[in-house]
Structure 1
Amino acid sequence: MLYSFRRIVALTATLSAVLLAACGGGGSEPATRLSYDTDRIRATAFRDQMADTNAFEDASVTLSVTATDPPDGDTYIAVQDSGSGFGGRPIEVVQLSDTSFQVKLYPQVNLASGVYQGQLTVVLCKNQACSSHHPVENASLPYEVTITPQLQAEVKVNGNVLSSLTSDIGNNSIGVESTDDEMVVEFTSSIPTSVHHSSGPSMLQVEIDPSSTDTYWKLRVTKPQHYSGGGLGISLWPEDSSKNIQHDVTLNVDLVPPAE
């Protein structure tokens, strides 16, 4: 099994599915006891989450680890995953002191939506090949990674499908223009959402149909009296665990005055 190490002071990290026993025995050396800032790692991401593409930040979770009676000399850290929830990107280890460090883990965002459980095991290796390791107590910690769907929304205008939008930049907005006095807009989304738009006495008026739900929105857009033009955007914002992380989707509506 190939290991990829990144040296930080006296610490190195990798994420691997190799069993702990594969690193060899510890002999009569006193065991190092590990403690964590949580009893279970919980991480949530949406499918294909990526900063600057469809999200404001990458999916990650940070674990703080404290070692009691750490080994003498250089120690290399390997973090092993018994399941498939992590490893979306190489983990990052930062040494905080002689006895503590932080591990930043990245969920596998290409997994299908669902809940993934497993166990992370911290291995304290004596060399970069991890051919032998220091004995450790409390080396493992359970985890739960939840992957939710990416925001997608089918958009209908006056009963006709206009587009299928996603939260990906460049595919998360579309415009529609008409000389009609009103327009019926429908959104059907893959996740719960809330609807947002500008309002004002001289702007297009938006009325939400009572049949609407958090995954189906029906709106009537009409011209006010003395309307002189100017559109507005109707946006769906995620309302699940990706709220304030995932980008929205927007329909820009403009009911232009008829040509004279």
Structure 2
Amino acid sequence: MKVMADVKCHLRELETQVAGLNPPSNPVNLGNTGLLSLDPSPDKLPLYYQLLDCYTWMEKVHCYSTIMHSLFSGNNLKRSSISLPYSAKRRRPASLNHNVPQQQVDMLIQGVNQMFQDMTLNISRPFGNNAVVQVTLGRVLRAVVTFKGILIEWVVVRAYNEPLLDEDGKVDLYTPSQYKVFQKVTDNANAAMLNFCSPGFSDLSIRSFFTWLHSFVSLFTDVCKRCSNHLHNHMPPTWREFRTLDPVHEECKA
């Protein structure tokens, strides 16, 4: 009780002293704290108007998407709104590039084999109907070209002194070359295979690929068309342009 009486006494003294103070004649400088009571102007903070535009835009998108959904659902999977009988529809013929007679592939490979005197192609079928072609290009390189029907599926290029058969006497389809040069040529050969692939003109695509592969007969003697040097980073030009067959270093083709 004594403590509460002391607090009450001190409060009375404080009120008496505050009441006896004179008000200041000059206004007190509040600094930046005086701006706290001011409302921000809408032109400096256009957040409300931006949100309003956003909501309006979302409403329009929702409305348009609803209309488009109703239109597409009424004409599902049809290229035309005209209904035709089933017999009048023209069906695209099925692709038969993966299922062709062996004689057709053999004749195509024999025709390519007669195009070049310094490149020999030996065809075999160790895994059924699909052909595997062993390519020998001069005394420069050897390659294994795997077919799927009449389309090329995989290419592996090795040095001339590297075998194409494994320890069991079967054609080795996947083991890469131990030389970095022919590893680069393998990567580029698969890129060329994809570039020349044309299911509608399979004969032309096969001839174009083997013509491109034949350009590596001068792999170690060609000069880069960009830098005019034989070697770049101790590597010959391992890239050939698809149209002109010009030799180019990997670093120079970019």
Aligning the two structures, in what range does the TM-score lie when normalised by the shorter sequence? Answer: under 0.3
Computing the radius of gyration from Cα coordinates, the structure with the larger value is 2
TM-score normalised to structure 1 length? 0.20
User: Does 1 or 2 have the higher relative contact order (CA < 8 Å, sep 6+)?
Assistant: 1
**Structure richer in helix, relative to its length:** 2
Instruction: With the length of structure 2 as denominator, give the TM-score of the two structures.
Output: 0.20
Higher strand share: 1
